[in-house]
Structure 1
Amino acid sequence: MELRILRYFLAVAQEKNITRAAEKLLVSQPTLSKQLSDFEKELGTKLFIRGHRQITLTSEGVYLKSKAEEIISLADKTSLNIKNDQIISGDLTIGAGESIGMKRIIDIMGNINQDYPDVKIHLISGMADEMETLLNQGNLDFAVFMGERDLNEYNYLQMPETDEWGLIMRKDSLLADNDFISPKDLLGKPLLISAQEISKSRFKNWWGNLGSKMNIMGTFTLVFNAELLVENGNAYMMSFNHLIDKTHQDKLTFRPLNPPMIEPITVVWKKNTVLSKVAQLFVKRLQASLHNEDL
């Protein structure tokens, strides 16, 4: 399976037309058609449904498209990172969830880009399980975990920042008069909770024997979208502090939990792997920022 053929396949999948794809790739239409036909024979399956006006993907084609995009992205990134051994260039890719702890990391990434304009920085947002998968696949240089996780398979740096769990609600809510939110305060309240935290039963111990009485109306992955529902007055949201978007600050407020729930923030990268020069620079500058914090 050659990278060139995968690029041909992706071009046709994106254009949905052999002629347009051939023009984009600067190859002849017959050549492209034959290459793709040979590719299907090599794989022993049909990748395309060739219609009168456009081409669509079979289920096997859809699967290959997702994998081909990952393969091509990793190949391009690797090539870019080793092209020039004399200067710092290439891509720096970090995956993380939403957290106040990202400010330090983003500041370092921004400073690296300012000092080395050839460096391209990429931020990928998602839940910790997704970020760990991408890291292990080689699609991330670093992942940022919020909360306790098994770190035995990784190199890591612990951030001084922490995340504090609490409740986001409308400012005119009765619970907004509380300094803290206890489990009994949430009885009967429609709650939105991160899909990841639901799957890991993150609040099981905090709720105690009241857990079965909680009204969990739904889950979310993006805080901003969930805040729209809270602002609408239809829900309360369990979330980290400092994540209320500026567009919602006039209507929403945060109250910490009691007993408190505090999460560590950790930057991790794969063991037994050679970091690119820009990734090494990121680690060096992150370590320096933590050292300065201790002084």
Structure 2
Amino acid sequence: MDLRVLEYFLMAAEEGSITHASELLHVSQPTVSRQLIELEKELGKTLFTRTHKNVSLTQEGLLFRETAREILALYQKAMRENTGAETLAGDIYLGMGETGSVVFLMEQIAVFRERHPGVHFHLISENADRICEDIEKGLLDVGFIMRKANPLTFEILEMGLRETWGLLVPEGHPLENATSVTGKQLRREKLILPENSFFQSELLRYLGAGAQERVGATYNLIYNAFPLAKASRELIVCLGYPGERQGGLIFIPFANGKDAYASLIWKKRPVQNPALAAFLEHIGHTVSE
């Protein structure tokens, strides 16, 4: 298998178009198209679903993309070692939720990029369910989540960061001056819950009987729920810090101190791409200090 064909494959997958890929690669479109067809024959798999103008990866294509990235990353690492090059470059696809703990991660990315400006981060906002799924599919390299992950599937780095479950309450609401709230106090309140199924089941148990019927909406990205909370006077159940204010809403923790802890997770595999391996080493060293 020619390594150039892997580059053709990855570029076409990223662009969603063989024509665009060929333009960026400075290779004729028929050549790229022919090489990709030969690659599929060699592997005995259909990697692309083709339409008149676009292409998209099949399930087998998604899995092969992960393999192609690893092969090219290993080749690039070997070339750097052979030439004595010290420049680290590559792409890291990072999935994360919208939580306050992300600030620490962004600070560490900034420090890392000062040392390795050739590494490009793709920041993808998703909930923890989707992050876990997309890491398994190879769509993400690493995820930052506020829940437990399966240690049989993922490598897990505990970040030592804690957030508390509670409510975002509109200003002027009767609960706005409370220092904490119990499930009993919320029996008549309409609620907006996170879309994440793992969190929902835990939170509904805490909120007690009838809570499910009081859930008027769920959210994936919390900032999109702010206008609804203000308009409807419903309460957003989320993670936060006591006294925090977001978008005109006040965070009040649950009375029992129900907490969540941040983790960085990535797929178990013998070899990581060099950029990701270096970033994980940086984060691990920082957390252990």
Question: SS state of the match for residue 148, structure 2?
Answer: coil
CA distance in 1, matches of 2:30, 2:57: 25
1:84 maps to which of 80, 86, 97: 80
| Contact 1:191 1:235 (8 Å CA) reproduced | yes
1:101–1:34 CA distance, 2 compared to 1 (3 A): closer
| Residue in structure 1 matched with residue 223 of structure 2 by the alignment | 224
1:28–1:135 CA distance, 2 compared to 1 (3 A): closer
Amino acid at match of 1:109: I
CA distance in 2, matches of 1:282, 1:33: 35
Q: Which has the larger radius of gyration?
A: 1
1:284 maps to which of 266, 281, 288: 281
Say how many residue pairs are matched: 276
Q: Is the counterpart of residue 236 in structure 1 residue 235 in structure 2?
A: yes
1:260 maps to which of 254, 257, 261: 257
| Contact 2:244 2:251 (8 Å CA) reproduced | no
CA drift of 1:262 comes to 0.3
| Residue in structure 1 matched with residue 160 of structure 2 by the alignment | 160
| Residue in structure 1 matched with residue 267 of structure 2 by the alignment | 270
Alpha-carbon deviations, 1:36-56, whole Å to 9, x = none?
999999989x9666xxxxx46
Question: SS state of the match for residue 98, structure 2?
Answer: coil
CA distance in 2, matches of 1:149, 1:69: 22
| Contact 1:164 1:262 (8 Å CA) reproduced | yes
| Contact 2:22 2:32 (8 Å CA) reproduced | yes
1:281–1:33 CA distance, 2 compared to 1 (3 A): closer
CA drift of 1:109 comes to 1.5
Question: SS state of the match for residue 107, structure 1?
Answer: helix
Question: SS state of the match for residue 176, structure 2?
Answer: helix
1:25–1:199 CA distance, 2 compared to 1 (3 A): same
Amino acid at match of 1:105: L
Amino acid at match of 2:258: M
Question: SS state of the match for residue 175, structure 1?
Answer: coil
Question: 1:14-53 counterparts in 2 under 5 A?
Answer: 14=17
| Contact 1:100 1:243 (8 Å CA) reproduced | no
| Residue in structure 1 matched with residue 99 of structure 2 by the alignment | 99
CA distance in 1, matches of 2:49, 2:273: 35
CA distance in 2, matches of 1:26, 1:228: 47
Moved more, 77-86 or 252-261: 77-86
1:261–1:197 CA distance, 2 compared to 1 (3 A): farther
1:63–1:209 CA distance, 2 compared to 1 (3 A): same
Question: SS state of the match for residue 288, structure 1?
Answer: helix
CA drift of 1:165 comes to 0.8
| Contact 1:171 1:252 (8 Å CA) reproduced | yes
CA drift of 1:79 comes to 2.7
CA drift of 1:122 comes to 2.2
Alpha-carbon deviations, 1:238-281, whole Å to 9, x = none?
011159998x54x2111101222101211123334212333333
1:244–1:237 CA distance, 2 compared to 1 (3 A): farther
CA distance in 2, matches of 1:172, 1:252: 10
CA distance in 2, matches of 1:106, 1:204: 31
| Residue in structure 1 matched with residue 110 of structure 2 by the alignment | 110
CA distance in 2, matches of 1:108, 1:67: 34
Amino acid at match of 2:120: K
Structure 2: 5+ residue stretches without partners: none
CA drift of 1:283 comes to 2.8
CA distance in 1, matches of 2:224, 2:23: 40
Percent identical: 20
| Residue in structure 2 matched with residue 52 of structure 1 by the alignment | none
- TM-score normalised by structure 1 residue count: 0.73
